[in-house]
Structure 1
């Protein structure tokens, strides 16, 4: 079984994952743009049983457009988000793809909030779209 380790910039907070993600997606919402400092967020969804976290984490609660509650866990030293959970999906852990620092990580199959996508962003040909 494939093992991957996501980590913050300083390495203090990690999440070890066993197996493959259930879904890899990209989100163009403005909150993800602000959270990542990029033009979209790329994240991988795993079942809770696949993930174990280690290290100290601070938490930020964000309420989404539809009322969902996302709890972002980030390193209190360097500020990097390593994983998050959504209260309405209690058995799921979401990890930003960049936290794996693995160029061979599976690509996204789903794209959301495309009405906020930057005009110069190109998407994979066979990705599922959700406005």
Structure 2
């Protein structure tokens, strides 16, 4: 079992363990949501995640055209997880909320069109996408 939680512990998730479905997102919305140059999410089937606490919800339009609902702690403000219309059976969990330095690295790096030039997401088999669904092309 793996746990994710907000900074103060009010919102916590019980997860079945590490997942290999990990993505780094460089979109402007994730940059603003995290306060960092990119966000990293681990994706789990919703039915295997147990959520405790009562988060606040923020819903925004996604680049995909659907909506994304973010769930964060009403006390400390940490974003812990999210759900996207285009992945209805999955929950995205903030890898920083898992706080495990041995957690698997991203297998995808998306929205690289707005990636900071000094950020590098490397590793064997990492898929690099300029947007959320179109493959990166060479100039």
TM-score for the superposition, normalised by structure 1: 0.94
SS of residue paired to 1:90: coil
Aligned equivalents of 1:114 and 1:89: distance in 2?
Answer: 20
- Between 6-15 and 82-91, report the one with greater CA deviation: 82-91
Which structure 2 residue ranges, 5 or more long, are not aligned? 131-139
Between the two proteins, the alignment pairs up a number of residues equal to 129
Q: Which runs of 4+ in 1 moved over 3 A?
A: none
The reply on whether 1:41 has 2:39 as its aligned counterpart is: yes
Q: CA RMSD in A?
A: 1.1
Compare the two structures and name the one with the higher strand fraction: 1
TM-score for the superposition, normalised by structure 2: 0.89
C-alpha contact 2:41 2:95 (8 A) present in aligned 1:
yes
Paired position in structure 1 for 2:76 = 78
Which structure 1 residue ranges, 5 or more long, are not aligned? none
1:11 to 9, 21, 39: 9
1:102 to 100, 103, 106: 100
